[in-house]
Chain A
Amino acid sequence: MEYWTHKYTPKKATDVIGQFENLKKMYIFVSQFPRVRKRAILMHGGSGVGKTSGAYALANELNLELVELNASDLRNEQAVIDVLGSAAKQASLFGNKKLILVDEIDGMYGVKDRGGVGAVIDVIKESKYPIIITANNAFQSKLKTLRKYCDLIEFKPIPDMMIISRLKQICEAEGIAYDEAALRKLAGSADGDLRSAINDLQIMSEGRSKLTLEDIKLWGREREENIMNLLKLVYKSFDADLVLTTSNYVSDDISNLLLWLDENLENEYSKKDEISYAYNMLAEADRFLARIRLRQHWRFLIYARILSLVGVQQAKNTPNPKFVSYKYPGVLLSIFQRAAKRKKMQVISELATQKLHSSVDRLTKDFWPYFDFIQQRNPEYAEGLLEYIEPVD
């Protein structure tokens, strides 16, 4: 299945819906570079309004080699220098010009991306090629310095009318009949986000030749309800395609989805072979998630999705006929509790290693269990021991 957002992505600047002025500015910036006021453009605005696809359309139209760094890449200082630094200085392999795109720069955060924004600024200063940066929110404090080096272009939400006309074009191209009201409803709930409107359209028209307002109304967008529906399809039905399509509308990320499937499994399945098969599949799916993190190879996602959802679905011999009310995964909660406990132990343990001349491992085995006992039975005594380990000065 090809995503319509991909199939109908703009090929040239004038295809980009509702952002004509912005694309014109970008066009001028790219074609006049390096004789420009600021050496980079920072495009900002909500999602699905044409920032990234605008950059792609421009690169395509002007036949530029697009060098991209996006949120799926590691973006710490060194990574930015490695990927962009050289691209910004070296001539293109095929002799054509380049366009450098740093997508979702406000998504750079945490220890892993440390120094990333600063490195982007360094690249801007020296780049031989135009640089375009996108952000949902350009006014965060961590982008303060970056803003000085960029021309800011705001991408506003796309007006409903324009979204509707685009949806119409797509329906016509796909041979789908529609009620005007249905498309209006779709566009209305998209809040100016064309990508989500197109996604919704594709989901709704799957297996239909005509789209009516009733169809749209019946379709709840509530997340909780969706995940409950999905779980029901997994545990009670055998239709694999339906499960996969439905999972597209669930906004929970896949690793949470695994926890939902795990939490509720034993209330639906009771036979040993069902449970074991289901867990086998969940565990295999989970391995692919680990591999994604390890290799940044996002194709693995499809294996994780199919193995988990369809794997658990096909584990049963017959569906459990009883109604089951699904529970929020307790593990999500226990992970937090456990993390808090470990963190606390870690801090005290480090002090204790010096005081007691023992390793953390050894203390875990030989000291903390006895301490826990004392703490439970004689808290005051435990308090006294803690003062010894961690003197209050």
Chain B
Amino acid sequence: MIEVWTEKYRPQSLEEIQGQSNITNRLRAFVKSQNFPHLLFAGPAGVGKTTAALAIARELFGEHWRDSFLELNASDSRGIDVVRNDVKEFSKTKSIREDIPFKIIFLDEADALTKEAQDALRRIMEDYVRTVRFIMSCNYSSKIITPIQSRCAIFRFEPLPKDIVRGILIKIAETEHFEIDEDAFELLYDASEGDMRKAENLLQACASITKKVTRSAVSEVVSFAEPKEIELIVKSAISGNFIKAKERLNETIVRHGLSGLDVIKQIQKEAWKLDIDERHKLELIRLCGEFEFRMVEGSNEFVQLAALLAEFAKLKK
């Protein structure tokens, strides 16, 4: 068995979390007083939001922390049903502990909840405040309705600075007995943009093939894991080469097991990045929207995507 590094090297306590000391200091005070309000963690991916929530639970509840902790991923189970069923069910039952009268619900990626679900959640936050505390995480606090925001203490997590990412990665390299070149580290940092999870996954992939991680090893992983396929598809299409674009498209879909919606999302992003005049770009975006709508309506993804590319190709003068 080989541990996934993001778990193996996940800090177990608030004290171990690096780069967010303003936040962790206050959180530790909460834990010490054995009481705190609902919490909202906002900030980019891979900077310690989930880790902080898990650490709070561990420090507060000790060995049997899992009995008093419910972790839900809003983006997997979005919607009002989850709030009404799982969340409410867990909130209703009292804590079994004498010392701490509440349990914790950690709602990860809470900005993925629909507005209706957030409204329902708000009610539960009010009604069960004696038995449950919510910790919610999100990338953008603006996607959380204000009534919820106003019921939470909000903590804004910052992207991790370069020297902290470096320190963590070097520590991992020591423990795992391999070396990282300095310029390999530079590329690692640029590719992960301060996202520790991404940096660790990237590094583990490199280390799986070599004991000496060089810049070229990192770039090999990066180009594999973040393929330019969709970009190439879009570029073929707008240069008028429909046949090439469609061939690549079908290949990509099958190779990665993508859904039509995955693909059109990326096509739209790539289209926006193209170096063409704005009106042309607007037309491409409008087409993406139209075809995405058709797929949501239940149309066949292959037929619709092919038609979208044909439209792209037609725009070429």
A contact set with B: CB distance below 8 Å: 255, 258-259, 262, 266, 272-273, 275-276, 278-280, 282-283, 286-287, 289-291, 293-294, 330-331, 334-335, 337-338, 341-342, 345, 353-362, 366-367, 369-374, 376-378, 381-382, 384-385, 387-389, 391
Q: Mark B1-21, 1 if CB is under 8 A from A, else 0.
A: 111101100000000000000
Q: How far is the CB of B64 from chain A (nearest CB, A)?
A: 18
Contact of B73 among A337, A358, A376, A388 (CB under 8 A): A358
10 nearest A-B residue pairs (beta carbon): A384-B2, A283-B307, A369-B225, A341-B257, A290-B298, A279-B310, A276-B314, A279-B307, A359-B73, A370-B205
Q: A282-B303, A338-B254 are in contact. List 16 more A-B contacts (CB 8 A).
A: A266-B242, A266-B243, A272-B313, A276-B313, A280-B310, A282-B307, A334-B250, A353-B76, A357-B50, A357-B108, A366-B46, A366-B198, A367-B6, A373-B205, A373-B221, A374-B204
Asked if residues A290 and B299 are in contact (CB atoms below 8 Å), the reply is yes
Give B57-78 interface residues, CB cut-off 8 Å to A. 71, 73-76
- Measured between beta carbons, the chain A residues less than 8 angstroms from B45 are 362, 366
B292 proximal to A (CB < 8 A): no
Q: How far is the CB of B191 from chain A (nearest CB, A)?
A: 11
Contact of B299 among A289, A354, A378 (CB under 8 A): A289
Question: B50, B112, B250, B307: which has the most chain A beta carbons within 10 Å?
Answer: B307
* Bound Cα distance from A371 to B2, whole angstroms: 12
Asked if residues A258 and B209 are in contact (CB atoms below 8 Å), the reply is no
* Bound Cα distance from A384 to B313, whole angstroms: 45
B246 proximal to A (CB < 8 A): yes
Contact of B1 among A262, A276, A387 (CB under 8 A): A387
Contact of A290 among B7, B108, B297, B307 (CB under 8 A): B297
Q: Mark B48-62, 1 if CB is under 8 A from A, else 0.
A: 001000100000000
Give B199-222 interface residues, CB cut-off 8 Å to A. 201-202, 204-205, 208-209, 221
B114 proximal to A (CB < 8 A): no
* Bound Cα distance from A340 to B9, whole angstroms: 33
- Chain B residue with the shortest CB-CB distance to A369: B225
Q: A279-B310, A331-B302, A388-B4 are in contact. Are A287 and B257 (CB under 8 A)?
A: no
Question: B224, B303, B313: which has the most chain A beta carbons within 10 Å?
Answer: B303
- Measured between beta carbons, the chain B residues less than 8 angstroms from A290 are 294, 297-300
Q: A259-B303, A384-B2 are in contact. Are A369 and B226 (CB under 8 A)?
A: yes
- Measured between beta carbons, the chain B residues less than 8 angstroms from A358 are 50, 73, 108, 197
- Chain A residue with the shortest CB-CB distance to B209: A377
Contact of A370 among B201, B294, B302 (CB under 8 A): B201
- Measured between beta carbons, the chain A residues less than 8 angstroms from B303 are 258-259, 262, 279, 282-283, 286
Q: A283-B294, A289-B300, A331-B302 are in contact. Are A366 and B201 (CB under 8 A)?
A: yes
* Bound Cα distance from A373 to B71, whole angstroms: 29
- Measured between beta carbons, the chain B residues less than 8 angstroms from A276 are 242, 310-311, 313-314
- Measured between beta carbons, the chain A residues less than 8 angstroms from B112 are 359
Give B62-120 interface residues, CB cut-off 8 Å to A. 71, 73-76, 108-109, 112
- Chain A residue with the shortest CB-CB distance to B7: A356
- Chain A residue with the shortest CB-CB distance to B54: A357
Q: A272-B240, A356-B7, A372-B225 are in contact. Are A286 and B304 (CB under 8 A)?
A: yes
Contact of B204 among A258, A342, A356, A370 (CB under 8 A): A370
Q: Mark B246-257, 1 if CB is under 8 A from A, else 0.
A: 100010011001
- Chain B residue with the shortest CB-CB distance to A285: B303
Asked if residues A294 and B298 are in contact (CB atoms below 8 Å), the reply is yes
* Bound Cα distance from A23 to B45, whole angstroms: 72
B306 proximal to A (CB < 8 A): yes
- Measured between beta carbons, the chain B residues less than 8 angstroms from A353 are 73, 76
* Bound Cα distance from A259 to B304, whole angstroms: 11
Some 9 contacts from A to B, beta carbons below 8 A apart, are A283-B291, A283-B304, A357-B108, A361-B75, A361-B76, A373-B205, A373-B221, A381-B2, A388-B1
B316 proximal to A (CB < 8 A): yes
Question: B2, B208, B294: which has the most chain A beta carbons within 10 Å?
Answer: B208
Contact of B109 among A293, A354, A359, A374 (CB under 8 A): A359
